[in-house]
Structures are given as C-alpha cells and as structure tokens.
Amino acid sequence: MSNSEELPGGDEPMSTAAPEQRPKSTGLHKGEIAPGVAKVDPIIIADDIRRTFGGLTAVDVKHIEIPRNAITALIGPNGAGKTTLFNLLTGFDKPDAGKWTFEGHSLSGVPAFKVAQLGQVRTFQLTKALGLLTVLENMKLGAKGQRGERLLSSLFPALWRKQESEIEERAMVLLQKFKLAEKSEDFAASLSGGQRKLLEMARALMSEPTLVMLDEPMAGVNPALTQSLLDHILDLKDEGMTVLFVEHDMHMVRHIADWVIVMAEGKVVAEGPPDEVMKNQAVIDAYLGAHQDVDLGVVTGRIAGDIPEVGKYMADEVATLDGNIRSRSHKDSTPPEHPEKSS
C-alpha cells in the first residue's frame, strides 16, 4: 500500500534541521471522498457507534474505517468526542450502541486488556507513565506473553530469567531510540512531561502492536523532541504498523498524516488526505475557526501566546502549509479530489 522509501535511520540523533519529507501513503480510500468513505484495506471498521453522557451525545459515528499501514489523524475541536471514541474502540468505555471490528475480530464487549492483547494498543491524553516504577520497569511491563507474569511461575525465577533478559534488551534498544536510555534506572515520576509522553509511546511499542492509537502524543513536547517523535511515528508506519493519532497541532497533522478524519460534536464531519481536508469549509468552520475561542493547547501552555494570536497564527500556518504541500504534491497517484461540501 504505502510507497515505502528508504527510511532515515531511526537511530539517527535528533536533529533540529528541517526533516526530509517522507512520502505519504495515498490511494487509501475507495470511491468518492466523504465522511465514512470505505477504505481499500481497513484495519478498523466501525458502525453506528453512539455514546451519550446523560443528555450529551459525546460520540455518534455512522461509519468509519481506518486504513491499514497508514498514519491517520483524528482532529476536531475540544469536546468533539475524540478521546471518547478512543475509549470506545479500545474497550475502556462501552458504547450505548454500535459494533466495530479490528482485523476482522468483532470487538464489541471485548475488555480493554484483550483488545490490547490483540495488537491494538493505545496511549492516553493525560499521560499514564507509572511513576513508582523505573523507566526500564515501565518498558518491561509493556512486553506481551511474559512467563513471569503468571503467579505460579513467578515463584520460580529460573522459569522466567531468560525471557526477562531478552525483554530487557529489547527495551533498551527502544529506550535508546527514544533518548531515554540514560534514564532507564530512574523512577518514571522523575521524568519531564514530554519524556513521559515518549516513555508511554515506547512502552506501548514494547507489545509489538499492529495498531498504535496515540491520544495527543505531542502535547507538551518541545519542538526539537516533537521532531523526533514525528520521525518515530513515521518509522512505525515503515515497520508495517498502523497509527491512529489525535492531534490539535495542524502543522504536525499535515506533516505526517496520510489521512485525516475530522470530528465535531461526536460526528465525523469530514475526512480525506490532509491538504484536501484543510480546505474544507466545514472543517474551517467547525475546527480551525474554533481556535479563535479557546484552545486547550493554549491553556496547557502547549502553544505560546495569547488566545487571539493563536487564531491568527493558525490561519497563517494553514495558508503557508497549503502552499508548500501544493507545490510538493509530486507523487500523488490519484487526481486531487474535492471534498464534498457538507455543511
């Protein structure tokens, strides 16, 4: 599916220089682009998912498909229901109605831990690094199928020692990659917010998932680190994984996403390749415009500056990025499609 090119080695030191643009996966969908469009090779197919909290309908998705071996961004204003949708898809919350499959397995009613065991692993918007375990222990916790995690065999270290050291090796390789190797013996509580995000992502990767779901992975991560995080995410795709992530920063969404799904008030209002979606009037109304009011990123200090400036910044950003991507749209095999006017 993806036109994979040679990757810029994952071990390369974090560089602040402009990263080279890796090719986007294209041709992911079938037929005309519209919210809920079918994908050529979907990994998740969900139908009629609805979740209400009292009178509030947090999620109400008719149909959604996530393309395999691609990077899909889920965007939308605060309270759009992105996290709730994540919770539903991963079994952390139960929908009022709806069914969905992951690689053909129906996941309705499947508990969260089984979902994770099937290879669909997530991270959390509010980081859940386990502060009382060391960084390395956090990593080792991520590995699947450990003999020593069974109560009876845990009593006999001889039964699990070997596997444990293998896991440790794998963990150290990943930590190296995420620039956390020196911290491996520290309690995770001593990490900075951004480092915790990295740790949480690295830990999720320890389980060798097929689908990684990241809820705002860059929130609170400094620009330099963001760059390397983006590279890691791109690497995941090259390693054959599928990534679904939530992000408010349009710059990053444009930079790495192959496909963008826009949610507002619980519904999927638009989807498509990033550059197409950003031009969609509905998206600008529902989301990009929303930044002019209040953005969580500003509140949490992720985006510097006053609130009004952000709106301006966003608008400029979108304009320049639009230009850039347009001029670079070299390998697109499909002719540019115009998203449905859905308003």
| CA 244 – CA 69 distance, rounded (Å) | 10
Residues 272-311, mask of contacts with ligand ATP (x by CB under 6 A): ------------------------x---------------
Q: In whole angstroms, how close is the CB of 84 to other proteins at the nearest point?
A: 8
Q: What tokens appear for 206 in the block?
A: 């320890």
Residues numbered 202-241 forming contacts with other proteins, rule: CB under 8 A: 203-204, 206-207, 215
Backbone angles phi and psi of 160, in degrees to 5: -125, -5
Contact 24, 47 (CB under 8 A): no
Q: Could you say which DSSP state residue 125 is in?
A: S
Q: In whole angstroms, how close is the CB of 59 to Mg ion at the nearest point?
A: 12
| Residue type (1 letter), 144 | K
Interface segment toward other proteins; rule CB under 8 A; list 15-23, 86-94, 248-256, 272-280: 86-94
**How many binding residues for other proteins (CB under 8 A)?**
49
For residue 18, the partner it binds in ligand ATP, other proteins, Mg ion, none, with Cβ less than 5 to 8 A by kind, is none
- Residue from 22, 68, 82, 254 in contact with ligand ATP (CB under 6 A): 82
Q: In whole angstroms, how close is the CB of 51 to ligand ATP at the nearest point?
A: 8
Strand order in 71-75's β-sheet? 120-122, 211-215, 242-246, 71-75, 259-264, 267-272
> What is the chain's length?
343
Q: Which is nearer to Mg ion, 92 or 187 (CB)?
A: 92
- Residue from 68, 140, 183, 248 in contact with other proteins (CB under 8 A): 140
Q: In whole angstroms, how close is the CB of 174 to ligand ATP at the nearest point?
A: 27
Task: Give the residue from 38, 29, 34, 31 showing the smallest Cα distance to 342.
Answer: 34
Task: Give the residue from 172, 208, 207, 215 showing the smallest Cα distance to 86.
Answer: 215
Task: Give the residue from 279, 278, 239 showing the smallest Cα distance to 255.
Answer: 278
| Residue type (1 letter), 142 | G
| CA 267 – CA 62 distance, rounded (Å) | 8
Residues in a beta bridge with 57: 52
Q: Which is nearer to Mg ion, 125 or 184 (CB)?
A: 125
For residue 92, the partner it binds in Mg ion, other proteins, ligand ATP, none, with Cβ less than 5 to 8 A by kind, is other proteins
For residue 2, the partner it binds in other proteins, ligand ATP, Mg ion, none, with Cβ less than 5 to 8 A by kind, is none
- Residue from 67, 76, 98, 274 in contact with ligand ATP (CB under 6 A): 76
148 is a site residue for other proteins (CB under 8 A): yes
| CA 218 – CA 248 distance, rounded (Å) | 9
- Residue from 141, 284, 307, 315 in contact with other proteins (CB under 8 A): 141
80 is a site residue for ligand ATP (CB under 6 A): yes
78 is a site residue for other proteins (CB under 8 A): no
154 is a site residue for other proteins (CB under 8 A): yes
Contact 124, 212 (CB under 8 A): no
Residue with tokens 């994908």: 39
CB neighbours of residue 328 within 10 Å: 12
In the chain, helix, strand, coil percent, each to 5?
A: 40, 20, 40
Residues in a beta bridge with 211: 120, 242
Interface segment toward other proteins; rule CB under 8 A; list 60-68, 109-117, 223-231, 274-282: 109-117
Binding site for other proteins (CB under 8 A): 54, 83, 86-87, 90, 92-93, 111-114, 116-117, 121-126, 128-133, 137, 140-142, 144, 146-151, 154-155, 157, 160, 164, 187, 189, 200, 203-204, 206-207, 215
